[in-house]
Amino acid sequence: MTQYSVFDSEKALGYVASLGSLFNLQAPLSCYEFGDGNLNLVFRISDSAGRSIILKQALPYARCVGESWPLTLDRARIEASVLKLHGVVCPETTVKVLHQNDQLALTILEDLGQLAILRTALNNGETYPKLSKDIATHLATTSFNYSDFVLTPAKKKSLVSEFLNPELCAITEELFFDDPYHQHERNDFPITLTEPVSALRNNAQLRLEVAKLKAKFLCSPQTLLHGDVHTGSIFVDANTTKVIDPEFGFFGPIGFDLGSFVGNLLLNYCAQQARIESLPQRRQMQTYLISCIAECLLTFEQSWQTLANTHTQDVTLRDPAYIDHFISSIMQDAMGYCGTELIRRTIGLAHVADIEGIEDKTARFAVEQHTLLLGEQLILNSSSCTSQKNTMQLLLSLLN
């Protein structure tokens, strides 16, 4: 067994060279490390012919905090394994795994450097015509194929066990459902938000609905989730959409991934109020984002319906009335989780560049007030979101 050690550029280069199969070793290789976010080391390794790959290694702690926040290295195995399984059913929208070493907690992936990170692109006012359908199809196809509608009970239980991810799930449980609704040192928001945050925390009905969402997250292993579908985990261009970074993957409620994605589009929608000065351009961008949400929800709903009606293996779950009921419950869950994403990204530990990049403090405060109110109302009214149509009616009423 190879003993774990933290890589630097030299070690990463040596490891890739030792594999021998990823490059023509007659060409010299180069390597540099660049941060991917909060948790890992990421290296780009290239040869002189222009071929490149990404080597990602998990650290035994949260990089954004330091060694005081230890984390399991097993998340690297989970990430690579989720990518492989999701890639079986959605190869066009899942980043490709080229090599996996669980002992060293590393994964080698295709390099998507020619694509844009969706969050950065949206912040720059860029739009992508295939985005919403690609993501909706990806989420519907992966969630359906790893659910009870397809898997035998024995296979499903085996996979649930394989993808237990208690440490990273605990992060989600705390950051989504606990911290924002209580005083906690991890929370981070300006003093000007004290009053709206207090009102949020004193809303007994909201706390009840958040508790329901957390309970479902804890005890509803409906499918193999990505677990962290935000606009920083998606690479795009005009013709391509690729999903990366499912290290938070586990078996949970289907609506969680869908709600997280929609929540990030709404965060950008709210942020554009202070990002784009020109009213016509701002309206154009916000209209694009709303149309993305509408198309995403409709495509997800229709794709799930088609898959369930034609490919359900379980004789009982094949009942058309149950399929309709199940899809409605996914949509309701998604809007609840969407609301928690909006709130936790505004006052919790992990913020988004969409809002953090707004330099005018007064304008940013207005955006933050909006995201808190929108998140609260989506959680409180999620039971009415039984379909794409009902959901869009609610959203449009809250945004106008």
Q: What is the pLDDT of residue 64?
A: 64
CA 8 to CA 43: how far, in whole Å? 9
Residue closest to 211 by CA, chosen among 178, 165, 237, 251: 178
Residues linked to residue 242 through DSSP beta bridges, in sequence order: 235
The band of 68, judged by pLDDT with boundaries at 50, 70 and 90, is confident
Indicate whether this model's pTM tops 0.85.
Answer: yes
pLDDT grade, residue 294 (50/70/90)? very high
Residue-averaged pLDDT of the chain: 96
- 187-235 pLDDT, tens digit each: 999 999 999 999 999 999 999 999 999 999 999 999 999 999 999 999 9
Burial degree of 316 (CB within 10 A; 0-12, 13-18, 19+): exposed
Q: Which domains does the chain carry?
A: 9-110 (3.30.200.20), 116-399 (3.90.1200.10)
Structure tokens at 285: 């961008």
pLDDT of residue 65: 67
Burial of residue 194 (CB within 10 Å: 0-12, 13-18, 19+) is: exposed
Closest CA to 183 of 387, 347, 7: 347
Q: Is residue 378 a contact partner of residue 393, using CB atoms and an 8 Å limit?
A: no
Report H helices in the chain.
9-19, 74-89, 118-123, 131-145, 153-162, 166-172, 194-201, 204-219, 255-275, 279-311, 320-347, 353-356, 361-380, 388-399
**What residue type is assigned to position 162 of the chain?**
E
CB atoms within 10 A of CB 356: 11
- Residue 304 above 90 pLDDT? yes
- Residue 388 has phi, psi (to 5 degrees) of -60, -40
Quote the CA–CA distance of 8 and 268 in Å, as a whole number. 35
Euclidean distance between CA atoms 181 and 31, whole angstroms: 44
Is the pLDDT confidence value at 179 over 90? yes
